[in-house]
Amino acid sequence: MAKKAKVSVNPNFRIGNISKRIYGAFMEPIGSIVYGNMYNPKHPTADEQGFRKDWIEALKKTDVPAVRLPGGNFVSGWDWKDSIGPKENRKEHLDLAWHQYYPNDVGHDEYLQWAEKVGLEPMYTINLGTGGINDAIYNVEYTNHEGGTYWSELRKKNGHEKPYGVKVWYLGNEMDGPWQVASWEKDPRGYGILANETSKAMKWVDGSIETAVCVSSSPDLSHFPDWDLQVLKECYNSVDYISMHHYQSAEIGNYAQFMAASRYYEDYIRTEIGLCDYVQALMHSPKVMKLSLDEYGVMPLPKKELHFGRERYVEPGTHYAFDPERKYVRHDPDNMPSRSFPPMDPMLMALGNAGVIMEMLRHADRVKIGCMTSGLGVAAGCDHDHVFTIPAYYPYADLMKYGHGISLQTAVDCEKYDLESFALDDTHKYHEQNQVDFIDSAAAYDTETGELTVFVINRDWEDSADFTLDITGLTGMRFEGHTEMFTENRTPDEEADKNLAPTEAKDTVCNEMTVKAELKPLSWNVFRFVKEV
């Protein structure tokens, strides 16, 4: 029996302006994403720099606005200066983060030039692990200064006459993580002071840039949120964003856990907003800190053995291993692994990250950047021979295409479920979530074009919803349509992917700005309205 559900939207209840950067992606040279998808000089479509044109063209057809690069844990041991100039003179290094050889065939300039070719805004992460203030100064000077100095003229000599104009700079990566090369886990105040001084110096090179400081790299760590507080007290007035990371996990096959994932992001975002506002008060500062959720994902994990008595303790073997038998690997871009399929219902993989983006929309006044960790692969899947579309692309594409303008509050009235606390291993432990709405929603209103879009997920994995959408507060609008995406085939395979795409809902009706629709179990729904001419 279908459950009753209602969402109401009123144009007067505004959250804030939506930044297009919340639809960004994250890139780090792990596996084949860089040496394979991005760069393969032997590929039939490779251009003069070795970039795969088939993947570039596929990404250009999407609305992905920005990419954070070149990492990731990788940057904390990477010297960007070793990656510029003629390739035959570049230095190859061990990448301690991912136990790989890094040849620097794709270096500083290649990352930024590839972003130019795709049409993405690059958001750059500097090394504040083994790097320092001078490295940061030289990097900004090389990247953004017009000319007349050693580093800016070296950029020209290396083939890029004009400055790259990178606007957003991340002050290191996950600097609290014990897995990080040169981690500041034990000294948040020291990192905060370093971030403060580095941000000042970088802005003295280029006063137009914005900087983002690392806070706790996961709300699962035992020092969250005190580590964040100690950092922010040292650098609040010199930075523009806090850099937040979180990967929410669910046990394979557990729908209740997976569909409640965005609730944990809501907890995380609210905690960080409260913390920033507290520090703002301490500093007597007029600055309202912005949030950058620049690594996120919802993913299935197998349940492992728990070791009781190690509450929230980060095991060395969990995040880094001292294994004498482990060998460094060299990734051959011409020998990429075959396409794989996640071990879960394909709709779960499509809806998980969409739910996180909707959470960012509901905090659009503060969250201004979002970088989906798998975002480039979601926007355009890629293996050695083909680019292809996966089901997760469609909600992402809808959000990028229609989720602009002003974010509006959505009032939800629906049935709910309770999720018990659960643990997947010693570090992935989650508190209970009470009264989880079966209906998840967000709305975007473009005042310039008069378009309203309401995004709705039916989280219920068993029952349909007898759904009402009330927008009677919006006058002069016309119902444009309702697209839905769902499947009864819950097997993760190529056949399921091919047959899973949004279609027009035929039985949805709208009468006097009240829409009646059936929301299928575990479905993605987009309701669109346009201004009457």
3-state secondary structure of 389: coil
Element (H, E) at 444: strand 439-446
Tokens of 212: 């983002």
Helices (H), 436-499: 494-498
The residue behind tokens 């692309």 is 393
Sign of the torsion angle spanned by Cα atoms 360, 297, 262, 497: positive
3-state secondary structure of 368: strand
Beta-bridge partners for 406? 17, 445
Active site residue 266: no
Of the listed 110, 141, 272, 295, which one is catalytic?
295
Element (H, E) at 14: strand 3-17
Sign of the torsion angle spanned by Cα atoms 395, 397, 398, 403: positive
Helices (H), 287-386: 316-319, 346-361, 375-379
Of the listed 110, 121, 174, 234, which one is catalytic?
174
Q: How far apart are CA 174 and CA 129, in angstroms?
A: 10
Cα angle 15, 21, 24; round to 5:
125
Cα angle 179, 180, 181; round to 5:
120
Cis ω on the peptide bond leading into residue 70 (within 30° of 0)?
yes
Question: 10 Å Cβ neighbour count for 290?
Answer: 18
CB 438 within 8 A of CB 416: yes
Tokens of 516: 């009646």
CA distances from 334 to 376, 389, 436 (A): 19, 21, 46
Active site residue 121: no
Q: How far apart are CA 244 and CA 68, in angstroms?
A: 13
Burial of 302 (0-12, 13-18, 19+ CB in 10 A): exposed
Active site residues: 174, 295
